[in-house]
């Protein structure tokens, strides 16, 4: 078995701790950004759906078809 000096063990431990903390930080940022993107997409989809429903109610299927083609 290889015997490491105390300095080498402390260096390896600090590298490991830095790696773990960076991975946790990256995972947190990724989750927050992903959740924000999904929420924004959901809001846009609801807004567009409501607009198309309003067009359909006011002008029927022909108006909806014209709106979609535009």
Q: What is the pLDDT of residue 55?
A: 92
- Mind listing the pLDDT tens digit of every residue in the chain (70 residues)? 788 899 999 999 999 999 999 999 999 999 989 988 899 999 999 999 999 999 999 989 999 889 888 8
- What pLDDT shows up at residue 5? 92
Quote the CA–CA distance of 32 and 48 in Å, as a whole number.
24
């Amino acid at each position: 078995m290889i015997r490491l000096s105390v300095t080498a063990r402390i260096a390896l431990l600090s590298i490991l701790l830095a790696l773990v903390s960076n991975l946790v930080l990256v995972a947190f940022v990724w989750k927050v950004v992903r959740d924000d993107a999904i929420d924004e997409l959901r809001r846009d989809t609801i807004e567009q759906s409501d607009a198309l429903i309003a067009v359909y109610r006011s002008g029927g299927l022909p108006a909806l078809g014209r709106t979609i083609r535009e």
